[in-house]
Amino acid sequence: MHLIRIAPAVAAGILAPALLLATPSFAALSPAPAAPAAAAPSTDPDVDELRVAIARILADPDSGKRVIREANALLDGNDPVAMRAWLESGYQLAQAEDDRVAITTILADPDSGRRVVAEINALLDANDPVAMRAWLESGYRLAQAEDDRVAIARLLADPTISAALRAAAGAALDDNTPEALRHFLEVGRYEVD
C-alpha cells in the first residue's frame, strides 16, 4: 500500500520540470535540444535465462553436431527473439536431425545385430522424432544387449574355443547386464586368450 502512494508523487516530480520547460515563457530561454544520446544496451534478465537454457543444451553430451552449431551461433548472435524461437521449435528440429544421423550411423555399422537393424528400420519408416529420441536413450541399449547375447551364444556353439573363453562368455551371460555383455564382446574375449 505504501508504494501505491509514493508512485504518483515520484511521477509528478519527474514530469514537473519537463512540463515547466514546455510552457511558452520558458521555451525562449531553453537551449537548443541536444542530440539524442545513444541508447543504453538493455539488460533484459530474460536474455540471461535464454543463454543459460542454450548453454545447458550445449553441455548435454547427447547434443549432436547440428544442435551444437546452431546453439553456438545463437549465443554469438545474442538475439533474444532468435534464441526464444529456437528453444521453442528449432531445437527439436535440430535434435531430430542429429538423432536421425546417429541412428543411420548405427545402422551402417557392420557389427549391428538383427534386432538393432530391425528396430532402426522401423524407426526410420515411422519417422517419429520422439520415438527416435526414446530409442537412442534406452531402446538401443536393450536391442544391443539382445544382439550381444546371440553373438555370445554363437561363440559358445564353437567347439574349438578354449575353456577360459567359454568360462568368460558364461560369466558375461550369467551377469546378463547390457554393459557386461558388451564389455565381453569388445574387450573381455580378447583378454582371455
pLDDT of residue 193: 64
38 phi/psi in degrees, rounded to 5: -65, 135
Low-confidence ranges of the chain (pLDDT < 50): 1-42
Q: Residue 190 domain-assigned?
A: yes
- 178 shares its domain with 137: yes
Rg of the chain over Cα atoms, rounded to whole angstroms, equals 32
pLDDT of residue 43: 53
pLDDT of residue 126: 92
Q: By the 8 A CB rule, do 189 and 169 touch? A: yes
Final residue of a structural domain among 108, 140, 156: 108
pLDDT of residue 129: 92
pLDDT of residue 47: 82
- 134 shares its domain with 191: yes
Q: Residue 115 domain-assigned?
A: no
- 91 shares its domain with 149: no
pLDDT of residue 154: 92
Q: Residue 62 domain-assigned?
A: yes
Q: Residue 30 domain-assigned?
A: no
- 80 shares its domain with 135: no
pLDDT of residue 77: 87
Q: Residue 68 domain-assigned?
A: yes
Give pTM, 2 decimals. Answer: 0.64
- 101 shares its domain with 134: no
pLDDT of residue 173: 92
pLDDT of residue 134: 92
- 48 shares its domain with 103: yes
- 99 shares its domain with 142: no
Structural domain total, the chain? 2
pLDDT of residue 89: 87
Structural domain of residue 148, as residue ranges?
Answer: 130-193
